[in-house]
């Protein structure tokens, strides 16, 4: 008699009774005692029987093997390992498979066996539903008590989520600060990975995991219901202010924001430098037989990239090394950044609402145009004040003991942010000829 062993376990933290090894030992002991032959073994690890098990699971492969008559029966520790849904029971019945469990044999080819299996599956389904209802009630009680629900450890907190891990908490603060300073989520991910931090699943950070981090209410000392969006006060310390968290959420929720894929600038001036002929930020870096070259997208000029960047680096170091730089670029402590972020979120919400009102026919085009212009002016004013208060990267470099080392140690994205904050770089057309690089062909205009 050929037997197929089916082994399944949900995630360990759910408190499943039998581990994979224990199930295997008990199934093999039964097969040996009956004098059968083990035809194959099908293992679904970290898979729930109360959810659909589709292609790619051992369950699906086993059913296909049953159709090919590769075994005579299925052996499991108990029926719960096989199914907790009536649909899965019907699938097994249709396959014509016989089932033997360690705690008693069930033959689905008989009316008695099918009735017994139906009753057991119904009981299992009842237990699943009752457990789910208890879990919902328990989770709601934890929310109201300000206790985190998830069992996964979150960066910055201890396993129970009630205390801080200080070095990780500081890394989270730096991630929020960098994001608000204009650093992209991708660069924040690279910063965290370089510092040796990993996600709760032990993987490196990427765009999605950084978005989850920066929009996680727990960092603001809050618990957010994932279905209703209702926010509860947490009974644990916050790592960042609620305004900082809400500002990050607003930035990710901005309809105009798009996740750039594969177009991260690799050169300092790409998309920043201005073409001296057309006056547009049309400079991009492309390859050539001479190496990387800055070119205007409208083909107005081209210039070897390396000497241009050497000049830009020298000019930036000189500007940031001036005696007045540290004081000049110090953040304005008189500006209430949190209030500005709140104001910006409210203004952006009003601006988004105008579009909906126009679409619904509540407002006329002229009315929308007038109100939109006023709101956009308000947004520009707020952004200008936020930029003035958020020059922490510029300030850190300008106040460093070794400005050149601090500047050269910045990653490309932060260099671009500083450069775009302080200077307008214009690459000018030059007369023909084979002369070398001319520094005067690059113009620097302080902002």
Is pLDDT at 14 greater than 50 in this prediction? Answer: no
Q: Please give the pLDDT value at position 18.
A: 52
- Residue 261's pLDDT band (boundaries 50, 70, 90)? very low
Q: Distances from the Cα of 217 to the Cαs of 32, 62, 162, 185, in angstroms?
A: 54, 43, 14, 17
More confident residue, 340 or 2: 2
Nearest residue to 242 via CA among 223, 217, 224? 217
CA distance 26 to 20: 10
CA distance 439 to 417: 23
Backbone φ and ψ for 274, nearest 5 degrees, come out as -105, 140
More confident residue, 236 or 382: 236
Average pLDDT along the chain:
82
pLDDT tens for residues 384-429?
666 655 567 888 898 889 999 999 999 999 999 889 888 999 999 9
Among 19-33, 51-65, 79-93, 108-122, top mean pLDDT goes to 19-33
- Residue 332's pLDDT band (boundaries 50, 70, 90)? low
Backbone φ and ψ for 172, nearest 5 degrees, come out as -65, -45
Q: What is the DSSP string of 85-138?
A: SHHHHHHHHHHT-EEEETTEEE-TTSHHHHHHHHHHHHHHHHHHHHHHHHHHHH
Q: Distances from the Cα of 259 to the Cαs of 184, 188, 256, 263, 264, in angstroms?
A: 10, 14, 10, 10, 11
Residues 161 and 236 sit within 8 Å (Cβ to Cβ) = yes
Which residues in 339-375 are b (16+ Cβ under 10 Å) and which e? Answer: ebbbbbbebbeebeebeeebeeeebeeeebeebbeeb
CA distance 247 to 49: 41
Is pLDDT at 105 greater than 70 in this prediction? Answer: no
Is pLDDT at 106 greater than 80 in this prediction? Answer: no
Is pLDDT at 205 greater than 90 in this prediction? Answer: yes
Which of 111-125, 238-252, 261-275 is predicted with the least confidence, judged by mean pLDDT? 111-125
Among 80-89, 93-102, 114-123, top mean pLDDT goes to 93-102
Q: Is 7 helix (H, G, I), strand (E, B) or coil?
A: strand
The rounded percent of the chain whose pLDDT value lies above 90 is 35
Residues 408 and 382 sit within 8 Å (Cβ to Cβ) = no
Cα dihedral 253→254→260→266 (10° resolution): -120
Q: Distances from the Cα of 192 to the Cαs of 261, 266, 413, in angstroms?
A: 19, 20, 15
CA distance 216 to 371: 33
3-state helix vs strand vs coil in the chain, percent to 5: 50, 15, 35
CA distance 64 to 57: 11
Q: Please give the pLDDT value at position 13.
A: 43
Which of 43-47, 370-374, 438-442 is predicted with the least confidence, judged by mean pLDDT? 43-47
pTM over 0.75: no
Mean pLDDT of the 136-162 span = 84
- Residue 258's pLDDT band (boundaries 50, 70, 90)? low
Sign of CA dihedral 122, 128, 131, 137: negative
Q: What is the DSSP string of 198-236?
A: --TTSPPP-HHHHHHHHT-GGGGTEEE-TTT--EEE-SS
Q: Distances from the Cα of 145 to the Cαs of 140, 151, 230, 232, 234, in angstroms?
A: 9, 16, 14, 9, 8
Q: Please give the pLDDT value at position 296.
A: 94
Strands 98-101 vs 104-106: parallel, antiparallel or unpaired: antiparallel
pLDDT tens for residues 73-95?
899 888 777 776 666 777 777 76
Q: Please give the pLDDT value at position 442.
A: 95
Kindly give, in sequence order, each residue whose CB lies less than 8 Å from that of residue 149, ignoring residues fewer than 6 positions away.
139, 142, 143, 223
Q: Please give the pLDDT value at position 294.
A: 95
């Amino acid at each position: 008699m050929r037997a197929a062993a089916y082994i399944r376990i949900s995630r360990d933290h759910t408190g499943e009774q039998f581990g994979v090894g224990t199930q295997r030992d008990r199934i093999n002991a039964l097969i040996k005692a009956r004098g059968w032959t083990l035809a194959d073994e099908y293992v679904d690890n970290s898979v729930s029987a109360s959810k659909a098990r589709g292609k790619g699971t051992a369950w699906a492969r086993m059913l296909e093997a049953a159709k090919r008559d590769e075994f005579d029966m299925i052996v499991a520790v108990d029926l719960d390992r096989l199914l907790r849904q009536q649909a899965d029971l019907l699938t097994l019945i249709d396959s014509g498979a016989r089932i033997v469990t360690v705690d008693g044999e069930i033959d689905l080819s008989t009316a008695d066996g099918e009735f017994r299996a139906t009753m057991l599956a119904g009981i299992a389904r009842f237990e699943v539903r009752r457990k789910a209802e208890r879990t919902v009630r328990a989770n709601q009680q934890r929310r109201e008590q300000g206790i985190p629900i998830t069992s996964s450890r979150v960066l910055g907190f201890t396993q129970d989520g009630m205390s801080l891990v200080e070095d990780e908490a500081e890394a989270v603060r730096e991630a929020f600060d960098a994001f608000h300073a204009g650093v992209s989520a991708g660069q924040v991910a690279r910063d965290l990975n370089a510092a040796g931090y990993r996600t709760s699943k032990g993987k490196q950070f990427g765009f999605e995991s950084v978005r989850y981090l920066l929009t996680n209410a727990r960092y603001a000392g809050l618990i957010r219901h994932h279905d209703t969006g209702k926010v509860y006060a947490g009974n644990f310390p916050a790592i960042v202010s609620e305004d900082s968290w809400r500002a990050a959420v607003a930035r990710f929720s901005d309809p105009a924001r798009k996740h750039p894929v594969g177009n991260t600038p690799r050169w300092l001036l790409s998309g920043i430098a201005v073409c001296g002929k057309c006056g547009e930020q049309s400079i991009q870096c492309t390859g050539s037989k001479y190496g990387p070259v800055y070119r205007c997208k409208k083909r107005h000029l081209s210039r070897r990239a390396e000497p241009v960047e050497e000049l830009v680096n020298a000019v930036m170091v000189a500007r940031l090394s001036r005696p007045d730089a540290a004081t000049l670029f110090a953040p304005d402590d008189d500006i209430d950044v949190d209030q500005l972020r709140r104001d910006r979120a409210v203004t952006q919400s009003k601006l988004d609402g105008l579009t909906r009102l126009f679409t619904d026919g509540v407002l006329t085009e002229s009315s929308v145009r007038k109100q939109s212009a006023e709101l956009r002016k308000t947004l520009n004013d707020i952004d200008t004040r936020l930029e003035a208060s958020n020059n922490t990267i510029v300030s850190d470099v300008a106040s460093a003991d070794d400005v050149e080392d601090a500047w050269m140690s910045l990653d490309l994205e932060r260099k671009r942010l500083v450069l775009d904050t302080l200077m307008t770089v214009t690459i000018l057309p030059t007369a023909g000829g084979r002369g070398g690089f001319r520094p005067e062909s690059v113009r620097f205009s302080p902002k």
